[in-house]
């Protein structure tokens, strides 16, 4: 008997039953992505990618700003937008963000087949599953150099698109093989003020959709792309565990994803959550604080130990800035990560800058040992009086064991969508995707019409 490839085993796990509770969960992730992407479209980075559409072929696929383009250009543009604000969903053990790639790929593909909302949600569930399982299998060694969201997300984009284009098993395997053979995304971009992270996601989305399209017209791809001797795992990981690709799981892995309540890298959130615990029972001013020490895991330090951020993106990747801004400005808002607050040259908030210099971040072995299963942090706030306040976060707000409420997820999306200028009535209509009764009465095209109507 011929042994199945890893891709075939993975594809077999995607044949499980999807029920209404799974679709309800997927609808929350869809709404969460919409909020992030719609707001992302009005940012300077979003406008750079919007310029690309002026060069793209015309088409009838709706983009996130309500404009129309061809399927691959729409997928590319929409795929660039979901993580600009660093509020996109995240899966911990795979250390990646499925939504920004899987959802725009699914939305583009769904429009070509007049898919129902439920068919779209089913594709999203399967795309998340493929992305997460590959992310888990590739191990921590991959994350050292590679942007997992991009490298693994392309597979989820292909799977979601293949489902919506109604590809058979062999066509789907070809789509998966060709998409993953073209994947990429190196972390070097993290060290410069560039748009490359969004380029990674945009290109992964486009490639996933295009791989499914090409498979539908006969382009064959390698079914051994994941586990072959010159395949993805062999080329990009030293600690791969192929068993994750076919492991039995009682529920779809989309349920294991976390929502982000605050506009910062998820590695910052454990410290923010711990600080929130202290602030809830202590009314502190910056002048009350002598020092803050954050103990956390190594990757949080690698990515987010940044005492002097100099760009919007760096501010979102700064534990020091996030904590100082919360003390000085209150609960996090989008504007707290703009230049008037993080820049040391403008003198607008010297108190915040001074507090930032009092915050140190150190690695704690016990916390690092439980990562990435747990994104955790301990925080110690030493007051000028000598008193020391402490708090610990094991599960961070938005994690499955410490979930945001449906109302909170809706509020986040409503805030982002309305801030982007979408009319109140259309914002309300977009929120109905999470209501089972309303969702079943929707068509995808009618739903997407709400993207183009501004006040």
Each residue of 29-70: pLDDT tens digit? 999 999 999 999 999 999 999 999 989 998 999 999 999 999
- pTM, whole model, 2 decimals? 0.96
Distance between CA atoms of residues 80 and 100, nearest Å: 8
Can you give the pLDDT at residue 1? 62
Tokens of residue 221, six digits: 């791809």
Q: Mean pLDDT lowest for which of 75-79, 337-341, 387-391? A: 337-341
Each residue of 402-430: pLDDT tens digit? 999 999 999 999 999 999 999 999 999 99
Rounded to 10°, the helix 169-181/6-13 angle is 120
Q: What angle do CA 67, 70, 73 make, to 5 degrees?
A: 85
- Domain borders along the chain are 6-256, 269-393
Tokens of residue 236, six digits: 């990009």
Percent residues over pLDDT 70 in the chain:
98
Does residue 325 contact residue 316 with C-beta atoms inside 8 Å? no
| Domain 6-256: assigned CATH number | 1.10.4100.10
269-393: CATH topology: 60s Ribosomal Protein L30; Chain: A; (3.30.1330)
Q: What angle do CA 402, 335, 87 make, to 5 degrees?
A: 35
């Amino acid at each position: 008997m011929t042994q199945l490839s890893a891709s075939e085993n993975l594809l077999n796990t995607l044949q499980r039953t999807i029920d209404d509770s799974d679709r309800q969960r997927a609808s929350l992730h869809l709404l969460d992505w919409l909020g992030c992407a719609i707001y992302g479209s009005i940012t300077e980075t979003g406008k750079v990618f919007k310029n690309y559409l002026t060069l793209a072929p015309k088409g009838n696929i709706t983009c996130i700003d309500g404009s129309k383009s061809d399927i691959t250009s729409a997928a590319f543009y929409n795929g660039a937008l979901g993580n600009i604000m660093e509020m996109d969903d995240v899966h911990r053990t795979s250390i990646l963000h499925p939504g920004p790639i899987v959802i725009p790929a699914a939305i583009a593909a769904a429009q070509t087949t007049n898919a129902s909302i439920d068919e779209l949600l089913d594709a999203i569930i399967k795309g998340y599953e493929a992305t997460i399982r590959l992310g888990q299998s590739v191990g921590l060694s991959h994350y050292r150099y590679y942007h997992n969201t991009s490298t693994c997300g392309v597979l989820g984009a292909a799977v979601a698109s293949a489902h919506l284009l109604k590809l058979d098993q062999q066509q789907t395997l070809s789509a998966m093989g060709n998409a993953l053979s073209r994947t990429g995304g190196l972390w070097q971009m993290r060290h410069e003020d560039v748009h490359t992270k969004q380029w990674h996601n945009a290109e992964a989305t486009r490639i996933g959709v295009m791989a499914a399209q090409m498979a539908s017209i006969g382009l064959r791809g390698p079914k051994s792309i994941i586990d072959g001797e010159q395949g993805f795992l062999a080329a990009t990981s030293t600690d791969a565990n192929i068993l994750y690709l076919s492991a039995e799981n009682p529920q779809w892995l989309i349920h294991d994803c976390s929502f982000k309540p605050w506009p910062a890298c998820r590695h910052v959130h454990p410290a923010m959550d711990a600080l929130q615990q202290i602030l809830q029972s202590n009314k502190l001013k910056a002048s009350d604080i002598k020092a803050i020490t954050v103990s956390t895991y190594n990757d949080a330090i690698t990515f987010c130990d940044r005492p002097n951020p100099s760009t919007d993106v760096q501010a979102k990747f700064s534990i020091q800035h996030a904590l100082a801004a919360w003390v000085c400005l209150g609960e996090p808002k989008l504007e707290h990560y703009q230049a008037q607050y993080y820049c040391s040259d403008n003198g607008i908030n010297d108190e915040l800058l001074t507090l930032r210099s009092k915050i140190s971040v150190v690695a704690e072995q016990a916390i690092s040992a439980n990562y990435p299963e747990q994104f955790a942090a301990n925080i110690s706030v030493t007051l000028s009086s000598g008193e020391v306040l402490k708090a610990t976060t094991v599960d961070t707000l938005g994690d499955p064991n410490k979930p945001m409420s449906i109302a909170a997820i809706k509020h986040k999306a409503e805030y982002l969508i309305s801030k982007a200028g979408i009319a109140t009535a259309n914002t309300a209509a977009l929120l109905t995707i999470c209501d089972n009764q309303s969702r079943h009465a929707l068509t995808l095209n009618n739903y997407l019409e709400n993207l183009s109507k501004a006040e």
